[in-house]
């Protein structure tokens, strides 16, 4: 697995991937709600259906899905996305992984991390968020097309 640094990018397999945003839950820690935005060449969603989140858990193409939240026995929370990059429509240039903090800021969320893995759980990349402060919405990373291949930054 590659531990990414701020500003870095990494080629990723054009296959199905899972993305988890994880954090340490506890008293006073805001809930984290993850979403995916499918962006066209203009850098914008093409329609409301290009936003995938808990209340709209699947893109009509089936290539991006919100899998929901989970909690580990150690108090770690996670919110999951599933992407099939090989099947993402040609009109989509980027898939942005973002989140909002419910009733608080990301500076109040300890051990914030984004992890990309294969469907079997094999890790691909991880990035620890260490500089969050007053943000109530956050872009954790994006998958983007470059020279016919997918990368993550």
Domain 2-152 falls in which CATH fold? Lipoxygenase-1 (2.60.60)
Q: Give the whole-angstrom CA distance, residue 22 versus residue 27.
A: 16
Q: Give the whole-angstrom CA distance, residue 40 versus residue 4.
A: 25
pLDDT mean over 57-76: 94
Instruction: State residue 72's pLDDT score.
Output: 81
Q: What is the CA radius of gyration of the chain?
A: 15
Please enumerate in sequence order all residues whose Cβ is within 8 A of that of 48, keeping only pairs 6 or more positions apart, or say none.
56
Tell me, what DSSP letter sits at residue 58? Answer: B
Q: Are 81 and 142 in contact (CB under 8 A)?
A: no
Let me know how long the chain is: 153
Instruction: Locate the domains of the chain by residue range.
Output: 2-152
> Tens of pLDDT along 131-149?
999 999 999 999 999 999 9
> Tens of pLDDT along 10-61?
999 988 999 999 999 999 999 999 999 999 999 999 999 999 999 999 999 9
Q: pTM value?
A: 0.95
């Amino acid at each position: 697995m590659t531990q990414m640094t701020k500003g870095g990018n990494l080629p990723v397999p054009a296959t199905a991937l899972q993305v988890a945003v994880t954090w340490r839950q506890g008293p006073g820690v805001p809930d984290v709600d993850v979403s995916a935005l499918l962006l066209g060449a203009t850098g914008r969603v093409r329609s409301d259906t290009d936003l995938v989140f808990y209340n709209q858990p699947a893109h009509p193409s089936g290539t991006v899905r919100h899998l929901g939240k989970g909690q580990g026995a150690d108090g770690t929370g996670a919110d999951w996305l599933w992407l099939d990059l090989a099947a993402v429509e040609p009109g989509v240039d980027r898939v942005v992984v973002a989140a909002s903090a419910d009733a608080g800021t990301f500076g109040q969320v300890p051990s914030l991390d984004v992890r990309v893995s294969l469907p079997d759980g094999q890790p691909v990349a991880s990035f620890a968020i260490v500089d969050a402060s007053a943000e109530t919405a956050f872009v954790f990373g994006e998958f983007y097309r470059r020279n016919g291949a997918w990368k993550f930054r």
